[in-house]
């Protein structure tokens, strides 16, 4: 894998601010690359909306999401930020999620601090986990031995 694709810190230093267009499928990722953007993101709303016709509301989990993300990442050589929802469970699930997306070639990830069932960011009725729980998830994600740089 191209190290430049994985070097998110370098990308952030070079592009301030970094604007990330959302890819909902492999074709969109290719079009983002052709348009000259330096990177892109795969978010839950774009992914679930395009594939299933409903918002990101905790119906699909790691298996469905990572399958779609794999197809998108393999179609485009740009660095990609991937929405990992709430990590799909507790700390051990977060570590598994980090490894899954690392194996797929994600350049960076983000975790949400919502209580299950999580909802799209633009939807009402969201509740967040206690700060200690989120800190534990972040620590778990950071402890995973991966080359995110």
Torsion sign (Cα): 101, 56, 89, 132: positive
pLDDT at 68 over 60: yes
For 115-149, write each residue's pLDDT tens digit: 988 888 778 888 999 999 999 999 999 998 765 44
- What's the pLDDT at 2? 55
Half-sphere exposure of 48 (CA within 13 A, CB side): 20
Specify whether 120 is catalytic.
Answer: yes
pLDDT in tens, 16-41: 899 999 999 999 999 999 999 999 99
pLDDT digits (tens, 9 = 90+) for 35-59: 999 999 999 888 988 888 888 888 8
- Rounded CA-CA distance 127/146 in Å is 30
Q: pTM (2 decimals)?
A: 0.89
Q: What is the C-alpha end-to-end distance of the chain, expressed in Å?
A: 14
The Cα angle at residue 48 between residues 137 and 18, in degrees rounded to 5: 65
Alpha-helical (H) ranges within 36-121 are: 44-52, 62-75, 91-104
Question: Domains in the chain, start-ordered, CATH in brackets?
Answer: 3-143 (3.20.20.60)
Catalytic, out of 76, 84, 120, 142: 120
The answer to whether the beta carbons of residues 23 and 40 sit under 8 Å apart is: yes
């Amino acid at each position: 894998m191209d190290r430049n694709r994985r070097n998110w810190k370098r990308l952030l230093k070079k592009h301030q601010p970094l604007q990330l267009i959302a890819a909902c499928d492999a074709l969109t990722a290719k079009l983002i690359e052709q348009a000259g953007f330096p990177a892109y993101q795969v978010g839950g709303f774009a992914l679930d909306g395009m594939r299933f016709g409903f918002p990101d509301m905790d119906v699909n989990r790691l298996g469905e999401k990572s399958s779609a993300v794999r197809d998108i990442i393999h179609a485009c050589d740009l660095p990609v930020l991937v929405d990992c929802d709430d990590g799909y469970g507790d700390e051990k699930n977060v570590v598994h999620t980090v490894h899954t997306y690392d194996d797929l070639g994600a350049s960076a990830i983000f975790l949400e601090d919502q209580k299950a069932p999580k909802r799209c960011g633009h939807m009402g009725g969201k509740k967040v986990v206690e700060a200690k729980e989120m800190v534990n998830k972040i620590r778990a994600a950071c402890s995973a031995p991966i080359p995110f740089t």
